[in-house]
Amino acid sequence: MFQWYRQITPVEQRTFWACFGGWAMDALDMQMFGLVIPALIASWSVSKTDAGLISGLTLITSALGGWLGGALSDRIGRVKALQIAIIWFAAATFLAAFCQNFEQLLILKAMQGLGFGGEWAAGAVLIAEIIRPEHRGKALGTVQSGWAVGWGAAVLLYAAVFSLVPQDLAWRVMFGIGLIPALLVIYVQRAIPEPTRAAAATSGSKQGFTTSLLGIFSPKTLRVTLIGGLFGFGAHGGYYGLFTWLPTFLKTERGLSVMGTGLYLGVIIVAFGCGCLAAGQLLDRIGRRRTVALFAVGCTAVTVSYLLLPIGGGLMLALGFPLGFCAAGIPASMGALFNELYPAGIRGSGVGFCYNFGRILAAGLPVLIGHMSGSMSLGAAIGIDASIAYSLVVLAVLMLPETRGKALDGAVGSGTFSKD
């Protein structure tokens, strides 16, 4: 499975690990919020709708951050944009530990979203341009598995901190810890040189930031931009609708303890990492469209079974593996697919928009789920919304072209870097 890694150059390998660390850091900090929702509800008497509002606003700002961060990477370079996004993201996470009320946390989570979106966009384009076409799907799929590593770290921290520290202080400790891995990732990112790109790839900087930002809406790329946005909406709507509320569902409706919740989530997280690796292999073997459709259909079926059917704890624990496995395939596929839809000069803007714009529409789903849970069970609300969202992914991918093995115009080649 990892034979491809031994075939790439040292520069490709360092870039891979830098981006892998970035994805893991994102997951660590982002997944913390879903885990501490019950503590916030207890400490500040926050309603489920208000908790969903924080998650929803974070998705909106991450969408804007992804689009702006992608365009910024077209303008000043992938590595520089990546560094700016990481610093911003880490600082906002750390400051959230000192919030005194709901309004302050809402603002800082919004700021966190800006950096989160920008980090993904710049990093995804960086590794797509560095890794050779025959290994692009595998590399980006494996990098996405870094999300499972960070997610798992967040759950372990949750179990440890909430077992040792009083609940009203534990969530602050978790946000404070979120700064530590960022420092290591920033150091690693600085060791990665900026890739040299052909003259065509610098068109975004020559034409100006605004032109690069809006160039994805030109007649040549408007169709893929709109379909890519629909794809992103379905993917993020399903993922965040499901996993923002899953810890609360397990604790409140299934009555699990902190350790019990960690066990159930642990199965899902391990499966998520496996799903990313499997998706990476399939992307380069059977193509982008078939891989996405396969995982989206599977995720819809498993989500319905996991949340809506009257199953016992043992079966629910077992179904956690296919749930996490199928949920991984869609985000693991998006980096390779979106990079291959756009030409040089607006690639960062296009990838950032397609991956992140769906978050603006998807931002309403966590809020909607919180509201719906007032008139039905939380599990039913999550299951209905997530199933609809994943169905949109299937519709969108059927309208996109197959891009497996496509060479990215504007990239000079693997291992070629500027002296800046």
Q: Please give the Cα distance from 57 to 240 (Å, whole number).
A: 12
Residues of the domain holding 161: 11-191+209-398
379 falls within a domain: yes
Q: Please give the Cα distance from 328 to 23 (Å, whole number).
A: 13
What's residue 292's pLDDT? 92
Looking at residues 238-265, what average pLDDT do you find? 72
- Count of residues in the chain: 420
Confidence check: pLDDT of 290 > 90? yes
Choose from 150-154, 244-248, 278-282, 303-307 the range with maximum mean pLDDT.
Answer: 278-282
91 falls within a domain: yes
> 414 pLDDT band (50/70/90 cuts)?
very low
Using an 8 Å Cβ cutoff, are 110 and 58 in contact? yes
16 falls within a domain: yes
Q: What percent of the chain has pLDDT over 70?
A: 89
Q: Number of folded domains in the chain?
A: 1
In three-state secondary structure terms, 417 is: strand
In three-state secondary structure terms, 331 is: helix
Q: Please give the Cα distance from 354 to 406 (Å, whole number).
A: 18
200 falls within a domain: no
Q: Which of 53-62, 179-188, 314-323 has the lowest mean pLDDT?
A: 179-188
First to last CA, the chain: 35
What's residue 36's pLDDT? 83
Q: Please give the Cα distance from 39 to 169 (Å, whole number).
A: 9
The better pLDDT of the pair 89, 202 is held by 89
* Cα-to-chain-centroid distance, residue 210: 25
132 falls within a domain: yes
Query: How many helices and strands, by DSSP H and E, does the chain display?
Result: 18, 0
The pLDDT tens digits for 304-331 are 887 777 776 677 778 788 988 988 889 8
The enclosing domain of 32 has a CATH number of 1.20.1250.20
Confidence check: pLDDT of 412 > 70? no
| DSSP codes of every residue in 26-90 | HHHHHHHHHHHHHHHHHHH---HHHHHHHHHHHHHHHHHHHHHHHHHHHHH-HHHHHHHHHHHHH
Q: Please give the Cα distance from 211 to 404 (Å, whole number).
A: 28
Contacts for 287 with CB less than 8 Å, ≥ 6 apart: 402, 404
> 393 pLDDT band (50/70/90 cuts)?
very high
